Each structure stands twice: as C-alpha cells, then as structure tokens.
Chain A
Amino acid sequence: MKNAGSSILARAVAYAPTVLLISVALVQIWCAIGDGRLTPAKGGGFGLFSTVDKLNNRHVRVYVRSARTGQETPFDVSAAMLNELRLPAWSVKAFPTDARLRSFARQVDLRATRAPDRAMRVEVGKMTFDAQANEARFVPVADAVLLEADE
C-alpha cells in the first residue's frame, strides 16, 4: 500500500505542476484572446515579449460626461490621487473587466467632487504599433460609465 501511495505521489510530482501550467495558460489565452481584455504579458500564459500590448503600454483615462449634453471632458487625476490609486490602476489596466472598471470609477469618484448631473466614464486603451508607418497609437480595450444610480 505504501508503495502504491508513493507511486501516485511520484506521478503527481512529475505531472501535476505541468497540468496546472497548461490549464492556467489556456484560461489566460481565453481571457486575452477570446475576451480580448487581459494583457498577454500577465496571467501565466507566457505571452510576455510577444506584443506591444503590455501593462506599461496601456493607459487608463477618466472622463466626466454631462448628463444633459453628453459632452465629455477629460478628468485630470491629480498626482496624489494617482499615487493612492496605483494598485487599482494597474489592476484595471491589466484586466479591465466591467466590475473592475466600475470599481475604479467609484474610487476616483469618491476622491473627486462631481456635479450631480454628470457621469464618469473610465476607459482603458492599449498601444498598437505600425512598423511600416512608424506610428504608435492607442486603441480602446474596454470602458464603463458610472452613473448616479450605480452608486
């Protein structure tokens, strides 16, 4: 019995970590390609150094939108607020799910003074690069709007 137990454990040592690696990598690919929101550089799929879409090449921008006119103006996040929200900002940039976008908008909103007739929109963009034209630009990955009713 003891030998059988050792044999099972020996197989677990040899193969279980690899099964874990493959499973996590497939989930990461699904989140980065299927859903298109997770940066390929993070999350255990081994996509680092494969695309310009890495965490440092993503931005998170906040806009204030007038409920009456629909007009948007960029919300200037102060350096202090940016420092305070560093981890949530990384988190929302790496994998901007709806819940994470709204949570980030709520955290900015709590620290800012927003007129009651205005909504807040958070947008995450990723870098793209055209080597032929030597041009880099951001394209949107995801966004979410925080309305008063959401609070």
Chain B
Amino acid sequence: MSSAPQRLPALWASIQHADAIDMACRLTLILPAVSEWVVGEAWLYKAPLRVLAIAGLVVPGLHRSRLLWTVLAAIMAAKTLDNWWLQDNHVFLLTYWMIALALALHLPAPHQPLRTCARLLVGWAFAFATLWKVGLSPDFMSGSYFHYTFVTDARFFDLAEILGGVEPEVLRRNLAAIDRLFTGDTAVAELGAPMTVGLLARCATWWTVGIEAAIAVTFLWPENRGPSRLRDLALLTFGATTYLVASVWTFGWTLLTLGMCQVDPARARVRVAYLALLVLVLVYDLVPIGGIAKSLLGG
C-alpha cells in the first residue's frame, strides 16, 4: 500500500502527461451528467443528454467518440435554440464548446485549434460581459445593481452581513417589502441598508469590472505577448473570488474547463491550478462558507 505522500508524485505525473483533449472531454461530460441546470426540465433533451454523458464517462474510450460528441452537440444546440430567450449564458457557452469538441475530434491534430477556440470563447464572453456592465446596463456602474443585490438576494446576505454590517432583521424586512411589491400591495419598496452597503457595492462594482475587463483583454491579446501572459492569473483570480460569493458552479466549471484547455501543454503547474480550482468551486457550492465565516466572527 502506498501512502498519500507517495501517491502525490504519481498524481502530479498523471496530470502533467494527461492528454488535453481527454481532460477537456471528461470535464465537459460531467456537466450534462450531473447538472440539472445544464440539461433543463424537458425530458426530450434531459434524458438523452444525461444518458450519453454518463455513458461517455463510464464506457472506456467513449469520451473521445466523434459520434457521441456530434449527437451531444446537436441535442445541446437544439435545446439552446428552443426557448433561447430563457437560456442562461453558460448554457450558450457550453453549447459552443460542445460544437467545437464535436468538430475537433474529426481532426488528426485537434489540440491547437481547440486551444485557440477555448481562448477566444473565454475572451469574447468576458468582452460582452464587460460591455453590458460598462456601456449597456443602466444601473451597474452607479453601484445600484450590487446595492440592490446585497440587500435583497439571499445568496449575498452573508457577505452583506460580514462586510456591509447589515443586520439580519433589516434583510428580512427588505424581503418582505419586495414581496409586497410583487403582490401589488405597494407601488414602491423602501429598502433598509446602512451606509457601508453603498461603499461595499462600489467596491464590488469596480472589482467586477476590473477583473472581467482584464480577462477579456488578456485572453484576446495575441498569445505570448504583453498582457496575454497574465491571462491564467486573471481567470484563476476571478474563479477563486467570484464563485465564493455567487454559487453558480456550472458556469465556473465551464469557464475553468475552457481556461484549462487553452493552457500551453508545457505549463503543467497552471493546468494543475485550474484543476484544483475546479474542485474548489465545487467545495464553494457544497460548503456554507459564508455561514462558517459568520460563526467564526461571532455573528
């Protein structure tokens, strides 16, 4: 029996020498295999996506099958087109990526085209995310979006309490006020929040715009030149900070899989960092870190 420290070098070597296409296929298959959000509610799409993804993960060699990926990509594209106005952004991103994988597996040398594709998809996704925040949204740069989110969105309440100093009672009253707005009992909901929430909202606004713009620039910049050298640092920082607060593990998983696939195969440490962050994003989703932090701080 080998001990844990002895197994670590073997794990390191296996990651270092793992084929990027194998990793891309397996990591991508995990999403339709386990995520309800990705497969949706309609059995027409849900059943074949789930069955094919699980088969791809458990049947040896099937994860690289051209036929499997062609069928998966076709079903995913049909699902995304059907009610496209209801689909989340990461479902679109995953669809584009599945199409790329289905096409790439027909190539004798798929690695470089797939690396380019992953890099451009991440870069353009963040370019549009930045455009929305900076130029198109009427309430992002003013801080209104984060202000409202911190005091009405339960996913952000831990952060609002820890960093914004908002009392739980105030958050409960805000939710009740929003409920009354929805039922039509009132035309205006007055929300409570201390001054610190405004400051927290401004910090979150500028941090989000800064990190997302940095990812767009570094991923779209020509490779191995200037800011492009910081692309992995930017995406890893985004993943480590964003999904700690916004628990959307499927989006994090998709982005980090793409991030890992665009890494130069010679940079094994960066690839390991992406894999470690993929695990961390799952931990963020499963462990109530905000609640634990509040307990530690005596909240």
Partner-B contacts on A (CB < 8 A): 6, 9-18, 20-22, 24-25, 29, 31-33, 38, 40-52, 55, 59, 61, 74, 90-91, 94-95, 127-131, 134-138
Contact = CB atoms under 8 A, between A and B. Distances in A.
Given A9-B103, A44-B87, A136 B181 contact: yes
Give the interface size bracket for B toward A.
35 or more
B99 A20 contact: yes
A81 to B, nearest CB: 16
Contacts, number: 173
Nearest to B192: A134
B189 interface: yes
Given A46-B129, A61-B184, A40 B137 contact: yes
A45 B182 contact: no
B83 A18 contact: no
Interface of B: 80, 83-89, 92-93, 96-97, 99-100, 103-104, 106-110, 112-114, 116-117, 120-121, 124-126, 128-129, 132-133, 136-140, 142-145, 147-149, 152, 177-178, 181-182, 184, 187-193, 198, 201, 208, 246
A17 B128 contact: no
A55 B86 CA distance: 9
Contact of B136 (A21, A33, A48): A33
A14 B117 contact: yes
B39 to A, nearest CB: 16
Given A10-B110, A17-B100, A135-B189, 12 more contacts: A6-B109, A10-B113, A11-B113, A13-B104, A21-B121, A38-B85, A40-B137, A42-B86, A50-B140, A90-B86, A91-B86, A127-B148
Contacts of B149: 52
Contacts of B246: 49
A47 B87 contact: no
A32 B137 CA distance: 10
B195 to A, nearest CB: 11
A128 B189 contact: no
A59 B184 CA distance: 10
Nearest to B110: A13
Contacts of A134: 190-193
B166 to A, nearest CB: 12
A46 B128 contact: yes
B85 A95 contact: yes
B97 A17 contact: yes
B29 to A, nearest CB: 18
A134 B144 CA distance: 9
Nearest to B125: A46
B87 A50 contact: no
Nearest to A96: B85
Contacts of A61: 184
A47 B178 CA distance: 23
Given A43-B85, A45-B132, A131 B201 contact: yes
A14 B111 CA distance: 10
Contacts of A21: 92-93, 96, 121, 124-125
B124 to A, nearest CB: 5
B46 to A, nearest CB: 14
A61 B108 CA distance: 56
A49 B96 contact: no
B85 to A, nearest CB: 4
B137 A12 contact: no
Contacts of B103: 9, 12-13, 16
A106 B182 CA distance: 23
A137 B117 contact: no
Contacts of A31: 85
A17 B99 CA distance: 7
A14 to B, nearest CB: 4
Contact of B113 (A14, A49, A74): A14
